Amino acid sequence: MNILELNAVESGYHKRLNVLKAVSLKVEQGQCVAILGSNGAGKSTLLKTIMGLIDDEPRKGEIIAFGKAIQNKSTEEIARSGIAYVVEGRGMFPELTVFESLQLGAFHRKDKAGIKNDLDKIYEVFPRLAERPKQLCGTMSGGEQQMLAIARAMMSAPKLMMLDEPSLGLAPLLVQDIFQTIKSINSSGTGVLLVEQNATQALKIADYGYVLESGRIVLEGTAQELRENENVRELYLGVSEAKTDKRIFVKRQRRWN
């Protein structure tokens, strides 16, 4: 069963700028899907469009989450339906404490016992957060903030978690930690839609992947297929077979099909 499905979605800004061009993708139950793409490919726009954060978008196409069309719903309804969104740059509330941020994550939940239970579980996963529930979020380090951003999203008990560049600005070891956490969230049954420039890490934990370029899906396949694809290797994984060949002076044309 698909928990998220996009059919030929077109989106952009101010009714003029067209960023996404007929994007179709799907996330199956319990799947971890990665979207790769360089800067300006439209990755963040894609997540914002799904979340309903851009007014009057998507202009075309349909977005189906958990069997219901959500393209015309408000952000609040979409969040309540079970989609959590970890924004790019962590989106901290600098003047709220760690505990308050986590409470805010569970804002629309009513089951007090469930919230308490989840909070304990999260403190177990992130002992750093358990140590300092009273610390202001703005004073934490980048890695701690990213952990809090993920923990906050977990507090809403989502069925699908969307993450925008969780590795942004983190040291390589921390990046591995974060991706391990995402993997474990995924294996507990939550679907994950991961937008990432760090293709190496993303393809390690993902089941399926899409390559987004200039607003179009140019390639899709299982993580294994993508890892072996020549173009992906060269452009996103930084492994170049052509480098040793001195006779090629012209930059090799990218051809996806």
Residues lying near another protein in the complex (CB under 8 A):
51, 53, 55, 75-76, 78-80, 84-85, 87, 91-96, 100, 103-105, 107-108, 152, 156
- Element spanning 217, H or E: strand 216-222
Nearer to another protein, 55 or 245 (CB): 55
Q: Which residues have a Cβ under 8 Å from the Cβ of 32 and sit 6 or more positions away?
A: 182, 183, 186, 191, 192, 194, 205, 206, 207, 208
Smallest distance from the beta carbon of 177 to another protein, in angstroms? 22
Smallest distance from the beta carbon of 160 to another protein, in angstroms? 13
Q: What is the DSSP letter of 257?
A: -
Nearer to another protein, 55 or 124 (CB): 55
**Please, are residues 118 and 151 in contact by the beta-carbon 8 Å criterion?**
no
Smallest distance from the beta carbon of 104 to another protein, in angstroms? 5
68 burial type by CB count under 10 A (0-12 exposed, 13-18 middle, 19+ buried): exposed
Smallest distance from the beta carbon of 79 to another protein, in angstroms? 3
Strand order in the sheet with 2-13: 17-28, 2-13, 60-65, 68-69
Nearer to another protein, 97 or 231 (CB): 97
Residues 176-208: b if buried by 16+ CB within 10 A, e if exposed: ebbbebbeebbeeebbbbbbbbbbebbbebbbb
Nearer to another protein, 42 or 105 (CB): 105
Nearer to another protein, 79 or 235 (CB): 79
Smallest distance from the beta carbon of 135 to another protein, in angstroms? 16
